[in-house]
């Protein structure tokens, strides 16, 4: 029997003894090449292996550990954090309104549920909402922003509710990308970055423009670096968008007011659309650090800026003290957007009908929680505990030879730098693997701890990192830190 | 003062007295041109006007009607349909697990809630799930499909949960689109179609290949027409995908088994990836009509087909008797997909982290509702009422001179053909409007009834239609039908 490969089309057609056996329509070679280029390390191969190991443990396979600790993602409830009672009461009331007759539910929860249900078609969260989001929830979001920003007005018409912040970020990028060849839209993102950005840019076929955060200055952002990156990029694309993550993911850096002013001036000078990813706005721990919203700073810089700079800022129900990731709630506020483009944005989001209504309801509670003088006010120790854990993590890592770690000023992650022995680097390269992937994979196999290698976020050539969430409960976090310490020493010795 | 337009870049830069005032970064001219081409009539200008009119009514503006009836979209709860008690009890229990101690909830609802919560990180629906969806829910979906298809096996690994069916459809199309110029992927869609398809194809820059359903044969699909459309398209693109909606939206047609066999044979011969949109699979009303899943027919055609034809089929929580649109639950099952492509699909969905967990929970209940011998079984009259309304609608419209209407065999819509007077067509053309848009807009202004013009779904040149959902309660539906009848006669007279 002889087999001949014909190459008439992009599909592999096998001609076997003259009979054509068609290959698949959809193969790695014939699929969307942009999708093939997408990478998303936070849920990449290391997490798939972690899930496999969990399965093996359940099946009784012997391991040097009894559970896998998934410190790869900021998933508070998965780490044992409890939901806020009031939020969940309102969600239960919205889901099953018969409970509105139940005396066990507090009056303020019922009031909230009634207000949300009254805004739903047929008084049901099972009806589609407006594509931009339920109007009264957008009003509540606008009031929240006004309060946060010391009274600077926010217009509910500029608020778009979304399926988590990721959804809004991708939608906004999609609107902005155009042109071919040297005219293709370039989008500036920080390195290290949250890989949603690089994934979305690959998917959209946009040009990724890297600007580097300065690890030696606590992952600070410097406008000189922005300018360098921009000017280099102008040679091969049309830079139009500047993305900032503040507080930083994975860096944990909280930007100073001065830095934000500089960024705004730069964006205006260079005529860039500014995307401010502020989902960690309530997660600030370090003394002397404070969250400044880009919008507030923009308005305080005067009408020259506030009336012209086009920007979008993003927020989510997934972080802060509530960590309600599974509800996929989020919003963006757009500023100075061309009204015709806004109409296009509204049209675009309408194709997906609406964000999940229960996520919208959750967002409404997050932006408008019970106040200290209201019956359902709940004091939560989550943020204080996170502050403590941020210090603990920094201190612990910095005692390990070969690990250096910036303070976790905000957000939920530490991104320590690890020194890897030359032999380990060589071995990884032999295996076609990133050296920090080799490190993290070995850590997972030996200690059951799942981290994300720094290569998944981007890092300066020749440096290596990992991202770890600080969300595990304090006692467990201590164990994790100790295990990583032991592993690091062992790893260094093994490859020396 | 003189103003000079410079055209150095795609951005409009205004030079006023020598000082350059930059225009917006993001304008209609400089935005993503694919997004500009997106159209989605189901929530288009007519719905925006309907929302405006509702606001005017609330503000006391006098109109010839007291409420707007939105018959533009299949939104059951908005039309007053009540949710299924059991589903909402389980959702309430999942949202607020303290209720698991409450005696008022039936034991079977508690059992379901516990099972779902046990599968969630930290036993909370606020944790992220696996990106493909919670494993035990995918297992339930697979069992549902097996039962539906008379035991043909379904593998949970082939199930991807999604944010409504729309999300999965767009994801699948995205994977499939590649190539440039004459090699660009062509996707065959029916005309009339559900405009998600044309919108997604515009967004992805894929080539839309129209095949026409035969209105004279109850909107039937004929393989001769598929072949005609395919051959014509081969001149300018690479056809790779065939999309079928069965039961049909907006046509209400239910495909016969023979038709489905023909389609499968055609797809195999022409090496097309088949996308079967089967979200209305439980909405079949006409005598002699039955839903046949593409998968079942495929397997019954033997291994020659079942082991090779690549396909995906889609389902949703939004339709059937529950109509839980707001939860955005859905799934797709993929068959014969290249394992490497499946890995890419899994990677792609992981970028958005996970579908809303409450929507996943809702889907679990939909595919596995209480059986007649279980305590929470609820007899629902919804489908019987829809069957009655489907007949009522067809009969009523066919009494109106100038309206002809095929039977509503399934789904939730009627798509009657309307004869428009030449003068009305001329007037619309003068105003740069589709004639059926003029008709629907006038109907909205005069009667407060919101429909979608046929031009939003596609129709044969020179024919005009509208889509109306049959979901309003019977008494209200009768009023709506009467009002449309009166309006149609008036409109015809006015333009004669």
Per-residue pLDDT reduced to its tens digit, A310-363: 999 999 999 988 999 999 999 999 999 999 999 999 999 998 899 999 999 999
- Report yes or no: A36 at the B interface, CB cutoff 8 Å: yes
Q: Do A78 and B122 touch (CB under 8 A)?
A: yes
Alpha carbon distances (Å) from B323 to A126, A205, B79, B280, B411: 7, 37, 10, 11, 12
- pLDDT-based confidence at A21, cuts 50/70/90? low
From B154's Cα to the closest Cα of chain A, the distance in A is 20
- For residue A278, the model assigns a pLDDT of 97
- For residue B12, the model assigns a pLDDT of 42
Strand-by-strand arrangement of the A311-316 sheet: A159-163, A329-335, A311-316, A273-277, A238-245, A185-191, A207-212
Taking Cα atoms as reference points, which of A45, A470, A67, A54 lies closest to residue A251?
A470
Q: CA–CA separation, B38 vs A228, rounded Å?
A: 36
For the cut 50, the answer to whether the pLDDT of residue A9 exceeds it is no
For the cut 70, the answer to whether the pLDDT of residue A380 exceeds it is yes
Taking Cα atoms as reference points, which of B122, B458, B324 lies closest to residue A75?
B122
For the cut 90, the answer to whether the pLDDT of residue A468 exceeds it is yes
Q: Do A336 and B95 touch (CB under 8 A)?
A: no
For the cut 90, the answer to whether the pLDDT of residue A17 exceeds it is no
Distance of CA A244 to the CA centre of its chain: 12
- Report yes or no: B341 at the A interface, CB cutoff 8 Å: yes
Q: Do B354 and A326 touch (CB under 8 A)?
A: yes
The DSSP secondary-structure symbol of B113 reads H
- What's the sign of the alpha-carbon dihedral B411, B413, B417, B423? negative
CA closest to B200 among chain A residues: A351
The predicted model gives A229-244 an average pLDDT of 97
Taking Cα atoms as reference points, which of A476, A487, A458 lies closest to residue A397?
A487
The predicted model gives A219-228 an average pLDDT of 97
Q: Do A77 and B127 touch (CB under 8 A)?
A: yes
Identify the burial level of A227 via C-beta atoms within 10 angstroms of its C-beta, where 0-12 means exposed, 13-18 middle and 19 or more buried.
middle
For the cut 50, the answer to whether the pLDDT of residue B164 exceeds it is yes
- Report yes or no: A176 at the B interface, CB cutoff 8 Å: yes
For the cut 90, the answer to whether the pLDDT of residue A4 exceeds it is no
Q: CA–CA separation, A25 vs B273, rounded Å?
A: 6
| A329 Rama class: left (phi>0) / alpha (psi -120 to 50) / beta | beta
Substitution target from A10, A326, A354 for chain B, most B beta carbons within 10 A: A326
Instruction: Count the residues in chain A.
Output: 496
- pLDDT-based confidence at B380, cuts 50/70/90? confident
- For residue A22, the model assigns a pLDDT of 67
Q: CA–CA separation, B73 vs B417, rounded Å?
A: 18
From A494's Cα to the closest Cα of chain B, the distance in A is 33
Residue-range domains of chain A with CATH: 3-31 (no CATH), 40-80+381-494 (3.90.1150.10), 128-366 (3.40.640.10)
What tens digit of pLDDT does each residue of B435-474 get?
Answer: 999 999 999 999 999 999 999 999 999 999 999 999 999 9
Strand-by-strand arrangement of the B13-16 sheet: B3-6, B13-16, B19-22
Annotate A373-391 with b (16+ C-beta within 10 A) or e (fewer): eeebeeeeebeebbbebbe
Number of helices followed by number of strands (H, E) in chain A: 17, 17
Identify the burial level of B181 via C-beta atoms within 10 angstroms of its C-beta, where 0-12 means exposed, 13-18 middle and 19 or more buried.
exposed
- pLDDT-based confidence at B23, cuts 50/70/90? confident
Q: Do A359 and B357 touch (CB under 8 A)?
A: no
- Report yes or no: A186 at the B interface, CB cutoff 8 Å: no
- ipTM of this complex prediction, to 2 decimal places: 0.91
Specify whether the CB–CB gap between B322 and B284 falls below 8 A: no
- Which residues 208-267 of B are in CB contact (within 8 Å) with A? 238, 240-241
Q: Do A351 and B32 touch (CB under 8 A)?
A: no
Identify the burial level of A4 via C-beta atoms within 10 angstroms of its C-beta, where 0-12 means exposed, 13-18 middle and 19 or more buried.
exposed
- Report yes or no: B19 at the A interface, CB cutoff 8 Å: no
Lowest mean pLDDT of A39-48, A392-401, B314-323, B346-355, name the range. A39-48
Residue of higher predicted confidence among A38 and B16? A38
- For residue A358, the model assigns a pLDDT of 97
For the cut 90, the answer to whether the pLDDT of residue B328 exceeds it is yes
Residue A178's SS3 state is coil
CA closest to B173 among chain A residues: A32
Strand-strand pairing, B13-16 and B19-22:
antiparallel
Arithmetic mean of pLDDT over chain B: 93
Q: CA–CA separation, B145 vs A185, rounded Å?
A: 44
The predicted model gives A209-220 an average pLDDT of 96
- pLDDT-based confidence at B233, cuts 50/70/90? very high
CA closest to A124 among chain B residues: B77
Q: Do B126 and A354 touch (CB under 8 A)?
A: no
Which run of H or E residues covers position B258? helix B257-269
The predicted model gives B72-77 an average pLDDT of 92
Q: CA–CA separation, B57 vs A45, rounded Å?
A: 56
- Report yes or no: A12 at the B interface, CB cutoff 8 Å: no
Out of B27, B78, B129, whose CB is closest to A326?
B129
Out of A96, A164, A336, whose CB is closest to B89?
A96
- Report yes or no: A67 at the B interface, CB cutoff 8 Å: no
End-to-end C-alpha distance for chain B, whole angstroms: 53
- Report yes or no: B356 at the A interface, CB cutoff 8 Å: yes
Q: Residue A4 forms beta bridges with which residues?
A: A15
Backbone angles phi, psi at A481, to 5 degrees: -60, -40
Specify whether the CB–CB gap between A482 and A409 falls below 8 A: no
Q: CA–CA separation, B310 vs B158, rounded Å?
A: 12
Q: CA–CA separation, B308 vs B267, rounded Å?
A: 11
Specify whether the CB–CB gap between B405 and B277 falls below 8 A: no
Strand-strand pairing, A273-277 and A238-245:
parallel
Q: CA–CA separation, B31 vs A176, rounded Å?
A: 5
Out of A183, A200, A344, whose CB is closest to B31?
A344
Specify whether the CB–CB gap between A296 and A48 falls below 8 A: no
- Report yes or no: A473 at the B interface, CB cutoff 8 Å: no
């Amino acid at each position: 029997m002889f087999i001949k490969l014909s190459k008439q089309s992009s599909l592999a057609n096998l001609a076997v003894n003259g009979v054509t056996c068609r290959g698949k329509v959809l193969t790695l070679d014939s699929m969307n090449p942009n999708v093939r280029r997408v990478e998303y390390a936070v849920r990449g191969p290391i997490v798939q292996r972690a899930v496999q190991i969990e399965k093996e443990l359940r099946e009784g396979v012997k391991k040097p550990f009894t559970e896998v600790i998934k410190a790869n993602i900021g998933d508070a409830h998965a780490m044992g954090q409890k939901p806020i009672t009031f939020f969940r009461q309102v969600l239960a009331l919205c889901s099953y309104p018969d409970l509105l007759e139940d005396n066990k539910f507090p009056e303020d929860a019922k009031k909230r549920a009634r207000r949300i249900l009254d805004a739903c078609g047929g008084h049901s969260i099972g009806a589609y909402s407006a594509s931009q989001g339920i109007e009264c929830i957008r009003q509540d979001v606008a009031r929240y922003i006004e309060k946060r920003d010391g009274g600077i007005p926010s217009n509910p018409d500029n608020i778009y509710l979304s399926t988590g912040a990721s959804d809004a970020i991708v939608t906004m990028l999609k609107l902005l990308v155009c042109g071919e060849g040297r005219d293709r839209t370039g989008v500036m993102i920080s390195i290290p970055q949250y890989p949603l950005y690089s994934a979305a840019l690959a998917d959209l076929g946009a040009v990724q423009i890297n600007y580097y955060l300065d690890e030696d200055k606590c992952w600070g952002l410097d406008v000189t670096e922005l300018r360098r990156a921009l000017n280099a990029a102008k040679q091969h694309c049309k830079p139009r968008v500047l993305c900032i993550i503040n507080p930083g993911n994975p860096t944990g850096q909280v930007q100073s007011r001065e830095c934000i002013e500089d960024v705004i001036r730069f964006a205006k000078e260079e005529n860039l659309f500014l995307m401010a990813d502020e989902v960690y706005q309530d997660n600030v721990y370090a003394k002397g650090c404070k969250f400044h919203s880009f919008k507030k700073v923009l308005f305080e810089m005067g009408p020259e800026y506030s009336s012209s700079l086009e920007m979008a800022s993003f927020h989510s129900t997934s972080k802060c003290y509530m960590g309600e990731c599974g509800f996929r709630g989020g919003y963006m506020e757009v500023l100075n957007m061309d009204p015709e483009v806004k109409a296009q944005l509204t049209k675009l989001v309408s194709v997906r009908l609406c964000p999940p209504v229960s996520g919208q309801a959750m967002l409404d509670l997050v932006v408008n929680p019970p106040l200290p003088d209201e019956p359902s006010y709940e004091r939560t120790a989550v943020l204080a505990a996170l502050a403590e854990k941020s210090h603990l993590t920094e201190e612990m890592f910095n005692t390990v030879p070969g690990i250096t770690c910036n303070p976790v000023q905000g957000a939920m992650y530490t991104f320590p730098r690890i020194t890897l022995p030359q032999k380990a680097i060589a071995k990884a390269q032999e295996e076609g693997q990133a050296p920090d992937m080799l490190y993290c994979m070995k850590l997972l196999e030996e200690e059951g701890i799942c981290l994300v290698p720094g290569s998944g976020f981007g890092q300066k050539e020749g440096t290596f990192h990992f991202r770890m969430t600080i969300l595990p409960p304090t006692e467990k976090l201590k164990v994790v830190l100790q295990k990583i310490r032991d592993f690091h020493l062992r790893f260094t010795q093994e490859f020396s």
